[in-house]
């Protein structure tokens, strides 16, 4: 069993997550060996958009898992606030299981014309596991940045579901960690630390993606 400790803004506190055993999945299609699929994970505001933009430049199609949750939120007639989107995310998993968002993304991945697909927004090892079982060429990439850096980025980004206050930001972090995001980050094959200039980070992204391509596309 894997145990991961994430420090909060208050350094004397910590948040513990246990990675429970992953159960066999039902109803999966045959394994797809044609597409290279890269799962991207990172805490809110860590800089996943840099990876997404760079991947697109390298010929990757992009599927955003968060779009599934946002679409479900709108279907319920709810405003796209951090609280509403977070509640719908938890509700989806409670009603449809830990694999529900990943399952909804599989057809979106398969319909992409590109042979390389980046899946943005993995939040649990359950999701990584279902992608790994469905796509033979699957790897995980994670992005990391400090809480202060992430909060400032989100405050400046001002997307409708971005937190404007530290308390809301912290609550969102805890919600993301509660579904297993920290474990996905810990198990990534490539880790990108986004604490430098844009050009430096972009070069690191290219290097990480090329390493994965060298592994799978020999």
The count of other CB atoms within 10 Å of the CB of residue 123 is 26
Structural domain count, the chain? 1
Strands (E), the chain: 2-7, 14-19, 32-42, 61-64, 116-120, 135-144, 190-193
Assess if residue 11 is contained within a domain. no
| pLDDT tens digits, 34-52 | 899 999 999 999 999 999 9
Assess if residue 18 is contained within a domain. no
Say whether 14 sits in a helix, a strand or coil.
Answer: strand
pLDDT digit string (tens) for the chain, length 218 residues: 444 444 444 433 443 333 433 344 444 556 888 899 999 999 999 999 999 999 999 999 999 999 999 999 999 999 999 889 989 999 999 999 989 999 999 999 999 999 999 999 999 999 999 999 999 999 999 999 999 999 999 988 878 778 889 999 999 999 999 989 999 999 999 999 998 899 999 999 999 999 999 999 87
Assess if residue 53 is contained within a domain. yes
Assess if residue 163 is contained within a domain. yes
Burial of 74 (0-12, 13-18, 19+ CB in 10 A): middle
Say whether 9 sits in a helix, a strand or coil.
Answer: coil
Say whether 124 sits in a helix, a strand or coil.
Answer: coil
Assess if residue 10 is contained within a domain. no
Q: Is 67 left (phi over 0), alpha (psi -120 to 50) or beta?
A: alpha
Assess if residue 16 is contained within a domain. no
Domain at 90, CATH number: 3.40.50.300
Assess if residue 120 is contained within a domain. yes
Assess if residue 2 is contained within a domain. no
Question: What per-residue confidence (pLDDT) applies to 18?
Answer: 39
Residue 83 is part of which domain span?
32-216
Question: What per-residue confidence (pLDDT) applies to 204?
Answer: 96
């Amino acid at each position: 069993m894997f145990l991961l400790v994430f420090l909060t803004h208050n350094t004397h506190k910590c948040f513990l997550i246990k990675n429970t055993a992953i159960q066999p999945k039902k109803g999966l299609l045959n394994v797809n060996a044609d597409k290279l699929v890269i799962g991207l994970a990172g805490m809110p505001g860590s800089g996943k958009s840099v990876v997404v933009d760079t991947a697109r430049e390298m010929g990757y199609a992009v599927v955003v898992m968060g779009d599934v949750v946002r679409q479900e939120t709108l279907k319920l007639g709810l405003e796209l606030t951090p609280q509403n989107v977070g509640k719908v995310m938890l509700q989806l998993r409670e009603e449809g299981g830990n694999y529900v968002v990943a399952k909804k993304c599989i057809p979106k991945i398969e319909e992409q014309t590109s042979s390389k697909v980046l899946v943005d927004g993995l939040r649990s090892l359950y999701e990584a596991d279902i992608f790994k079982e469905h796509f033979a060429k699957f790897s995980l990439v994670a992005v990391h940045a400090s809480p202060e850096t992430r909060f400032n980025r989100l405050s400046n980004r001002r997307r409708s579901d971005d937190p404007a206050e530290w308390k809301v930001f912290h609550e969102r972090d805890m919600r993301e960690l509660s579904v297993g995001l920290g474990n996905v980050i810990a198990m990534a094959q490539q880790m990108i630390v986004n604490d430098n200039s844009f050009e430096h980070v972009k070069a690191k992204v290219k290097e990480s993606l090329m390493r994965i391509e060298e592994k799978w596309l020999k």
